[in-house]
Amino acid sequence: MNVEVRLAKKGDLGIIHGILEEIQPCDISARLQKYELAIDSKFSTYLVAVSEEKVIGFLNVWHIPDVVDGGMLGIILDCYVSKESRHMGVGRMLLGSAIEVCKRNNVNKICGWIAPDNKSAISLMKSFGFSSESLLLEKK
């Protein structure tokens, strides 16, 4: 399978929405509004993996000022690959590209926001040298 990772475009949301519906159903108009904010933000980079001109995966990486150490903090989140494209190295390509985005944005610390039961994502992150150092608590 030939896969390319590129910056997301506004027109990619339809397929991204379909992938996300497998995991977290949401009204597409609400998702579109937040998606446009994310891809237009100077603190966020949305990447897509494309095969045969079809989006098969995506990832969002934040690169934000970190007042604590005076550097930049990278937060990798929203990494999803379509069911039919999993276990083919697509997540690895997206994560590698996200790390390159962080380097270009002078990020000095990168975190991954991952569900604690997502063993595949945890294993992937660890293969890139990530280790467990923080606990993220959520309030809904």
Q: Tell me if 30 is assigned to some domain.
A: yes
Range of the domain at 35: 4-127
Q: Is the residue at 32 inside a domain?
A: yes
Q: Is residue 19 part of a domain?
A: yes
Distance CA 97, CA 91 (A): 10
| Residue recorded with tokens 């446009």 | 36
Assigned domain for 137 exists: no
What is the tens place of the pLDDT at every residue in 52-105? Answer: 989 999 999 999 999 998 999 999 998 999 989 999 999 999 999 999 999 999
Tell me what pLDDT residue 38 has. 86
Asked if residue 135 is part of any domain, the answer here is: no
Mean pLDDT of the region 103-128: 92
Give a yes or no: residue 52 inside a domain: yes
Give Cα separations from 87 to 1, 11, 108, 120 (angstroms).
12, 26, 29, 9
Q: What is the per-residue pLDDT for 133?
A: 76
- The count of structural domains within the chain is 1
Interatomic CA distance for residues 16 and 69, integer angstroms? 34
Residue 132 inside a domain? The answer is no
CA distance 6 to 35: 16
Nearest to 121 by CA among 71, 73, 59, 69: 59
Q: Decide which of 32 and 74 is more confident.
A: 74
Residue 76 domain-assigned (yes or no):
yes
Whole-number pLDDT of residue 138: 83
What does the CA dihedral 8, 72, 124, 34 come to, rounded to 10 degrees?
-40
Q: Are 58 and 80 in contact (CB under 8 A)?
A: yes
User: CATH number, domain at 16?
Assistant: 3.40.630.30
Q: Cα–Cα distance between 49 and 44 in angstroms, integer?
A: 17
Q: Which two tokens stand for residue 119?
A: 């063993």
Q: Is the pLDDT of residue 20 over 80?
A: yes
